Amino acid sequence: MKEELLKEKITTKTLCYHCSEECSDDSIRINDKIFCCNGCKTVYELLDQNNLCTYYSIEQSPGNTRKYYTKRNYDFLDDEDLKQKLIEFSDGKKTNVAFSIPQMHCSSCIWILENLYKLDNGIISSRVNFLQKKLFITFAEKITSLKKIVELLDSLGYEPLLNLDAKNETAVYNEYKNLYYKIGIAGFSFGNIMLLSFPEYLSINVVEHSELKQIFSYINILLSLPVFFYSSNDYFISAWKGLKKKIVNIDVPLALGIFVLFLRSIYDIIFLGGAGYLDSLTGLVFFLLIGKVFQNKTYDTLNFERNYKSYFPIAVTIKNGDNETTIPVEKLKVGQRIIVKNNEIIPADSILIKGFGNIDYSFVTGELFPVNVQNGETIFAGGKQIGSAIEVETIKNVSQSYLTQLWNRTAFNRNEESQITSFANIVSKYFTFGIISFAVLAALFALPNYKIAFDAFTAVLIVACPCALALSTPFTLGNTLRIFGKNKFYLKNTFIVEKLSSIDTIVFDKTGTITERNNSLVNFIGLDLSENEKDLIKSVVANSTHPLSRAIFNFLSPNRIYPVENYEENIGQGIIALVNKNKIKIGSEQFVTNKNQNELDSTKVFVAINEEIKGYFEIKNKYRAGLKEIVSQLLKKYQIFVLSGDNESEKNNLNEIFHGNAGLYFNYSPHDKLNFIEKLQNQNKKVLMFGDGLNDAGALKQSDVGISITDNTNNFTPASDAILDSQSFRLINVFINFSKTSKKIIIASFVLSIIYNIIGLTFAFEGKLTPLFAAILMPLSSISVVIFTTIATNLLANKKGLI
Amino acid sequence: MQIVLVLIAASLIVALIFLGAYLWAVKSGQYDDKFTPSIRILFDESKKEKND
């Protein structure tokens, strides 16, 4: 017996053939292929039977681990209403559906997902968009069903993220396509008009062929029509919308410039036999549209708009007498009994009827450790049951629950379009009035002569057209967005950069934001543990999913894991098990020592081996690396607050980290957090909020800039302006500073473009604005501004260590 | 010099064909996913398995 145990000692790490997880032993195997768990083995068998083992030859161990897999019930996908919400199109024969699959990570994934038709002959075709992590499936509804497909994907380890709100994405998608059309047409016209204007540029004397010049000009008009009426219509629409709201945005001077350029050119060509400025017009629109594409950088795989619906289950198991059925969560009514299994989320406020409630509220309230709930007590929606299945009865509707009520608040209905504060828009107001008065002045100056007055008036408007001005913002901010993205800080759009540069107050959430979510600081206090004893303890806690067990498991250095006998876990109390004939008892003070605890201190885990009390593990929040240094930098410039849903146990630690200079608030509910931000804003503070969970959703939305922090960008993050990968947490001060740098770069390029305008204006005033001069000055100023901003942002980012 | 007009017409027609090709490419979704096709092209066509 002992020899056998010794053999199981892991000398070299064996990695799973399917998912490259570490295998505890080599007992799960097929021939020479070793698997970490039966789940991985099953997937391999399925692929092997269908000759799909190419999966393993494209990339090594490409699978998603099945170790912690629990089979889900997808019966709700037979519900007609729900099906209609997920299916994109169906003609009775062919049905199209799109799934979002966050687990997609390598080329093997693409291969297997595009070969699904070999596993289910009802699937006609499947297509992957890797960057968006999307899978598009066309299937025959007569042969297979939505439920079968989802079950197949789930069984392969690619569980689709089913979200009922995902359909409005097509509108955004069409907008992109339109932009590409517009650029194509503008580029086509620009190129051809330049070609036809060449004789003009070279001042080739075409007197003897003046009819040719005429014809060229008319062709130019034809070519510019689609640019004027189609490619540039966004600017007219936006300018008009702004003016209706009495806002002079940056599009107003642009639209004015485009309009005057077009009119003046037509007038020149038709009445004066001139060449017009159509090359400048089309070039301007072309550059502006390119700026727009550059600015519209988006992170397809990230979702900045998630609300509680994408965190909550979309279906629940309800109990009706002895029958268990699955229904969509929307149809859940008050007074229904639901069954909540291990790791499932409670969708509505309810009362515990049966079972041991051990609810993890960390995402909802910020409490670090699970809470024991007794029969008859209330469980709040959003809590996650850990342990055996429980039966609960709902007392509120999903949307009226304690947490979800937050989404009925006004902060969530605010109009997001109010971007009037953007710097370019503020400047453009003065700029527009400036050039209009300039133009009027120039016209008045030349007044007795109407022809010259008209010339001067239009020439000023043409030359002052703020193309360089309009390009500096998208290129600077677009580049900043990309630089941030490279450092795993993802912004929703470029406006956030500007907003970030003007904040003066920073609010942090505690749990999961400044502390690490899946990592705690563990300390053993008591008798010294021998290596063997550590192994015994580790072997026991390896079997438990409780967060405290996991923390202890990670704390003890890995050596060997023994098989465990007579394992018994008492929810909310502790574990008893037999390892190597040693009786191990791990759990709360009362459970292990039989002494009555005075207070419920869940952060101490006691250990007894063979009835001898060895001591206890003390488990604390682990603050993110470098927090103290970041905080001391931030404290110099900003007012800082920490809001926690947890109790005050960490107060002293926090005071030390924040040098006693931060406002610390404990036991804050999600609503309290939102109100707190609102209060700060009423004092005219610009608030930056860092949060991570659903409990911060309201505060993130209310704040001027809300950033959610996550360890894995595939995980759920509440709606926010930006998503920060926790690895880059130490850079937050650099990010804020760089957003200010970007603003300075914009100001500098504004100055540059104003210099160009002054040069142009002096020429216009003297009436020397030839088409050739305009055709050179406009692209030159635009391109030099673009080059300036790009080089400046890259250089300064390099200096700050961001590239 | 009238020949210039013919040449211009010809060049415009060619340019229009390219513009049309571009617009078609956008419409048919070739710009939607600029990454996956680069991987897909590396997969071997497994015709043998299809016949099974």
pLDDT digits (tens, 9 = 90+) for B8-49: 999 999 999 999 999 999 998 888 788 888 888 887 765 444
CA distances from A542 to A21, A70, A558, A562, A586 (A): 15, 17, 11, 10, 12
- pLDDT above 50: residue A556: yes
Among all chains, which residue has been given the structure tokens 């400044």?
A514
Interface probe for B, chosen from A49, A110, A193, A209 (most Cβ of B below 10 Å), is: A110
Please give the residue that has the higher pLDDT: either A521 or A749: A749
Partner B, chain A 746-765, Cβ-Cβ below 8 Å? none
- Using an 8 Å CB-CB cutoff, list chain B residues near A130: 33, 35-36, 39
- The shortest CB-CB distance from A209 to any of B1, B27, B46 is to B1
Per mean pLDDT, which range of A217-221, A493-497, A516-520, B13-17 is the poorest? A516-520
Among all chains, which residue has been given the structure tokens 């709100």?
A165
- pLDDT above 90: residue A739: yes
Interface check for B4 against chain A (CB to CB < 8 A): the answer is yes
Burial label for A729, CB within 10 Å (0-12, 13-18, 19+), is: buried
In 3D space, the residue among A33, A61, A466 whose CA is nearest the CA of residue A261 turns out to be A466
Section A236-264 average pLDDT: 87
- The shortest CB-CB distance from B12 to any of A132, A185, A192 is to A192
CA distance A639 to A751: 32
- Shortest distance, CA B19 to any CA of chain A (angstroms): 7
* Each residue's pLDDT tens digit, A96-153: 888 888 788 888 888 888 888 888 888 998 888 888 788 889 998 888 888 889 888 8
Section A174-180 average pLDDT: 84
Cβ proximity of A317 and A72 under 8 Å = no
In 3D space, the residue among A139, A126, A148, A142 whose CA is nearest the CA of residue A87 turns out to be A139
**How many of the other CB atoms lie within 10 Å of CB of A679?**
11
* Each residue's pLDDT tens digit, A749-763: 888 888 888 888 887
Question: Quick one: pLDDT band at residue A188, thresholds 50, 70, 90?
Answer: very high
CA distances from A200 to A214, A220, A544, A773, B22 (A): 12, 13, 82, 11, 29
- Using an 8 Å CB-CB cutoff, list chain B residues near A192: 11-12, 15
What is the interface pTM, i.e. ipTM, of the complex? 0.88
Q: Which CATH class is domain A489-515+624-740?
A: alpha beta
Q: Do A181 and B26 touch (CB under 8 A)?
A: yes
The mean predicted confidence, pLDDT, of chain A is 82
CA distance A396 to A383: 15
Q: Which CATH class is domain A75-162?
A: alpha beta
Section A265-285 average pLDDT: 87
Give the residue extent of every domain in chain B: 2-45
CA distance A508 to A296: 29
Interface probe for A, chosen from B24, B49, B51 (most Cβ of A below 10 Å), is: B49
Partner A, chain B 25-44, Cβ-Cβ below 8 Å? 26-27, 31-36, 39-40, 42-44
Cβ proximity of A435 and A464 under 8 Å = yes
Task: Give Cα A558 distance to the centre of its chain.
Answer: 35
CA distance A62 to A98: 23
The predicted pLDDT at position B49 comes to: 43
Q: Do A51 and B12 touch (CB under 8 A)?
A: no
The predicted pLDDT at position A5 comes to: 47
Among all chains, which residue has been given the structure tokens 């490279």?
A486
- The shortest CB-CB distance from A128 to any of B36, B44, B52 is to B36
Partner B, chain A 177-206, Cβ-Cβ below 8 Å? 177, 180-181, 184-185, 188, 191-192, 195-196
Cβ proximity of A72 and A154 under 8 Å = yes
Is domain A308-412 in CATH 2.70.150.10, yes or no?
A: yes
The predicted pLDDT at position A461 comes to: 82
Single-letter amino acid code for the residue at A251? D
Burial label for A320, CB within 10 Å (0-12, 13-18, 19+), is: exposed
Among the ranges A147-161, A590-604, B37-51, which has the highest mean pLDDT value?
A: A147-161
Question: Quick one: pLDDT band at residue A414, thresholds 50, 70, 90?
Answer: low
Q: What residues pair up with A367 in beta bridges, in sequence order?
A: none
Locate the chain B residue with the closest alpha carbon to A180.
B26
Q: Do B36 and A118 touch (CB under 8 A)?
A: no
Q: Do B8 and A219 touch (CB under 8 A)?
A: yes
Per mean pLDDT, which range of A384-398, A665-679, A766-780 is the poorest? A766-780
Cβ proximity of A746 and A473 under 8 Å = yes
CA distance A369 to A547: 7
- Shortest distance, CA A226 to any CA of chain B (angstroms): 13
What is the reported pTM? 0.81
Give the residue extent of every domain in chain A: 2-58, 75-162, 171-298+419-476+741-799, 308-412, 489-515+624-740
- Shortest distance, CA B9 to any CA of chain A (angstroms): 10
In A465-526 the beta strands, taken as DSSP E runs, fall at 489-491, 505-509, 515-526
* Each residue's pLDDT tens digit, A342-365: 778 888 888 888 888 888 887 777
